[in-house]
Structure 1
Amino acid sequence: MLQFARKKWLPLAALTLTMAAPLASVAAEQKSVAVTAIVEHPALDAVRDGVRDALAQAGYESGKNLKWQYQSAQGNTGTAAQIARKFIGDQPDVIVAIGTPSAQAVVAGSKRIPLAFSAVTDPVEAQLVKSWEASGTNVTGVSDLLALDKQMELVKQIVPDATRIGMVYNPGEANSVVVVKQLKELLPSLGMTLVEAAAPRSVDVGSAARSLVGKVDAIYTSTDNNVVSAYESLVKVGNDARIPLIASDTDSVKRGAIAAIGVNYRDLGVQTGRIVVRILEGEKPGDITPETSQNLQLFVNQAAAQKQGVTLSQALLDAAAEVIQ
């Protein structure tokens, strides 16, 4: 009996060792991705979800072979810096920073941990990278940069006689400062002028919009995170004063803007996620050229147009990827 027990124990031990080997291999292959966003709103949430989708498509699943962390700074740059320090201390394989302030906070804290930014209008102006070429550093990512001439063409289609264009923005957000600068250079050539209204915090958006009443023919909104996170307060002013709102964020059309030509932010997130996968699989972020999205869509909102005193042309409706009634 003793000999039989010893013979049975030996193969069981071998089996245990065989089973332990793949478990150790899975643990060794586990990757970690930490995602931070400056604020939560539909566009940035779509970026986050798109990143996660791309990771899942590549076989990286949270709870299996991927450690996934996500934190929002709730629009506070101080909180963004705290999140950046926390994530840097965790030493993940990649940090994904959604929005310029979050990306700037990570860059300020680490020159080593790979960073993939997303939904950053101008990463050069924001000092994340030195140029649009591969950076040679720990930073790469995807921009949501839009051609402002096309944006203003849309404004003219909706409000043909518009000459005074209002813009509510956060003067502390590099994305928005860049857009304001470019509009000041572009608009005079189109016979238009820019009227600015500062909203340093999300709670300032409504009052900033009210300051434009009687001074502008239309309001254009960029992807300013303060403005987008409080878009309903801007819409109320537009509806009450019958000032047409034209956006660059298609999700804002669903929330009450008349129209927008903008990127699909879920697709932007997937595009960012594919860069993250490349980094997880061994590429250096400094060897990956920053990208932009070419997948632009036109959204229009007929109900918003009526409330804001505008009749949309049939040609514009026919060109739209989505018409909200």
Structure 2
Amino acid sequence: MRKILISITAIMAILVLTSCSTNSSVDKKTLNVGILQIVPHGSLDAARKGFKEELNKEVKEHDKSLKINYNYQNAQGDQANLSSMSQQLVQKKDDLILGIATPAAQALAKKTNSTPIVVTAVTNLQSAGLVKDDKKPQTNVTGTKDLGPVDKQIKLLTTMTKSQKPIGVLYNSSEENSVLQVKMVKKYAKNHHLKLNIVSVTSTNDVASAVSGMAKKVSGIYLPTDNLMASSMKTIGKKAREAKLPVVTGSIEMAEDGGTATYGINYHDLGKQTAKMAYQILIEKKKPQDMPVETSHTLRLYINKTNAKAIGINPDKIMKP
């Protein structure tokens, strides 16, 4: 009889433990998602908002009782902040972390090779050392690229220039993504016999003087998807209007903040696209290692009509390249 009681007790204990184990996974009603952003500006903010909106929507449609807890960190452009914030996010053992822009993505990837990471607003994940290959990352990182159609953007700018002066290119030489895009600009210019006036800066304090220095030497200005340029768009827009120079930007948000026009990416949409990838990892249990890196599904022509008119260009005459 004693043996029977011991056996029954043991069986009940196993059932209780099994039930607790099962309930721990079933009863988890909160997903923890970390977010690390390099700097606040229109494009990156739009990507973050699009990501949260779409992930909230997708998760709610899957399970109305499931909540998402976001832990948002912004490094304010400081490398030391990136390192400490990425460490904090990794230590929290979130279910997934979003890295916005190349420096943030790289900082996170250095801190963990196990926590799933999705990234957005990164121009080239492979050259940034985040994945082995775009088609099969083979790391804990995947996401969306923000490389726009640089050739079409330069072509768009040439349709708005009114002189034979060189095309001006302004960028931050400290940003890998910008260096890559400038190489593409040079290649296009060589193939189409265009002259360039390329100026690099590494601080917002130098942007105004750089634009002023270019003003009489160029027929228009091209800005890649560059975090420093995006943060300085109001200054660039003001100087360009004074000099009557058209400005084509790498992103729509940059054109909204001070450019003339662009044919490019909408970062809000790119953030939503990234969220769909995050959903597959969080809910469908896919692995970043096996998920191909994606490019933007949508490109569109955007014209800042106010700025176009201010420099003497008829917005209705600006056509898709």
TM-score for the superposition, normalised by structure 2: 0.86
Q: CA deviation at 1:149?
A: 1.5
Query: 1:244 aligned to 2:246?
Result: yes
Contact 1:170 1:226 in 2 (8 A): yes
* Structure 1 unmatched ranges of 5 or more: 1-19, 321-325
Q: CA deviation at 1:313?
A: 4.9
Aligned to 2:307: 304
Rate the CA distance shift 1:161–1:211 in 2: closer, same or farther, 3 A: closer
Contact 1:37 1:73 in 2 (8 A): yes
Question: What residue identity is the alignment partner of 2:300?
Answer: Q
Stretch moving more, 111-120 or 297-306: 297-306
* Structure 2 unmatched ranges of 5 or more: 1-19
**C-alpha offsets along residues 93-112 of structure 1, whole Å, 9 cap, x if unaligned?**
11100111101111122111
**C-alpha offsets along residues 173-206 of structure 1, whole Å, 9 cap, x if unaligned?**
1110101111112212212123222221233322
Query: 1:165 aligned to 2:167?
Result: yes
Contact 1:163 1:192 in 2 (8 A): no
Rate the CA distance shift 1:112–1:206 in 2: closer, same or farther, 3 A: same
**C-alpha offsets along residues 81-121 of structure 1, whole Å, 9 cap, x if unaligned?**
22111111111111100111101111122111111010111
Query: 1:264 aligned to 2:301?
Result: no
Q: CA deviation at 1:287?
A: 0.7
Contact 2:160 2:318 in 1 (8 A): no
Contact 1:235 1:256 in 2 (8 A): yes
- Which of 281, 285, 292 pairs up with 1:289? 292
Q: Which whole-Å CA distance do the structure 2 matches of 1:211 and 1:62 have between them?
A: 56
**C-alpha offsets along residues 126-176 of structure 1, whole Å, 9 cap, x if unaligned?**
221122211111010001111222112211222265551212211111110
Q: Which whole-Å CA distance do the structure 2 matches of 1:182 and 1:104 have between them?
A: 23
Q: CA deviation at 1:23?
A: 8.8
Q: Match of 2:214, SS?
A: coil
Q: Match of 2:69, SS?
A: strand
Q: Match of 1:133, SS?
A: coil
Q: Which whole-Å CA distance do the structure 2 matches of 1:77 and 1:167 have between them?
A: 25
Rate the CA distance shift 1:45–1:59 in 2: closer, same or farther, 3 A: same
Stretch moving more, 252-261 or 231-240: 252-261
Contact 1:164 1:216 in 2 (8 A): yes
Among the aligned pairs, what percent are the same residue? 31
Contact 1:243 1:309 in 2 (8 A): no
- Which of 188, 191, 212 pairs up with 1:189? 191
Q: Which whole-Å CA distance do the structure 2 matches of 1:103 and 1:267 have between them?
A: 19
Aligned residues: 299
Q: Which whole-Å CA distance do the structure 2 matches of 1:47 and 1:140 have between them?
A: 16
Contact 1:39 1:72 in 2 (8 A): yes
Q: Which whole-Å CA distance do the structure 2 matches of 1:131 and 1:215 have between them?
A: 41
- Which of 66, 69, 87 pairs up with 1:67? 69
Question: What residue identity is the alignment partner of 1:230?
Answer: S
Contact 2:151 2:188 in 1 (8 A): yes
Q: CA RMSD in A?
A: 2.5
